[in-house]
């Protein structure tokens, strides 16, 4: 399984328009080689370099496994979790200063998750335990 973006490659800079310094829209993502046994997908975007610990930018689960692409700024069909901005939508890179890494993590799951809209990353990770068939990630950087 693989997550790629037409906007940046792994290890490259995330273009400004996908950050809080510009349009703050989600980047285009493509999912490749989703396992045949996947019942649902989950997506987590976070920043492990935030001063107070990992900062969550985007949470969506119960995405249909037939979805293989998310266009830039597209509202992903699935259940949305609350990010650390307090929103149920994508929140782009917005580091205080310096270079931060941003991970877009995709999980193929063997079931639909029984989690309410607005749940946290901690809730999502716990619900996924024992149900991850495969995972993949894309990492981009952003500097202020």
User: CATH homologous superfamily for 2-143?
Assistant: PEBP-like (3.90.280.10)
User: What pTM was computed for the model?
Assistant: 0.97
User: What is d(CA 128, CA 49) in angstroms, rounded to the nearest whole number?
Assistant: 24
pLDDT tens readout for residues 92-136: 999 999 999 999 999 999 999 999 999 999 999 999 999 999 999
Q: Where are the domains of the chain?
A: 2-143
Q: Are 26 and 5 in contact (CB under 8 A)?
A: no
| pLDDT, tens only, 15-59 | 999 999 999 999 999 999 999 999 999 999 999 999 999 999 999
């Amino acid at each position: 399984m693989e997550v790629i973006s037409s906007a940046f490659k792994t290890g490259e800079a995330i273009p400004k328009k996908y950050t809080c310094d510009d349009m703050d829209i989600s980047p285009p993502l493509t999912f490749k080689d989703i396992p045949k046994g996947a019942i649902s997908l989950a997506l987590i975007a976070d920043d492990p370099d935030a001063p107070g610990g990992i900062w969550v930018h985007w949470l969506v689960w119960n995405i249909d496994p037939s979805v293989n692409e998310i266009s830039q700024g597209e509202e992903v069909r699935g259940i949305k979790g609350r990010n650390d901005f307090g929103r149920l939508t994508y929140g782009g890179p917005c580091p205080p200063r310096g270079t931060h890494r941003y991970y877009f993590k995709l999980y193929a799951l063997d079931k639909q998750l029984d989690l309410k809209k607005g749940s946290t990353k901690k809730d999502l990770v716990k619900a996924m335990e024992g149900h991850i068939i495969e995972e993949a990630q894309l990492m981009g950087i952003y500097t202020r």
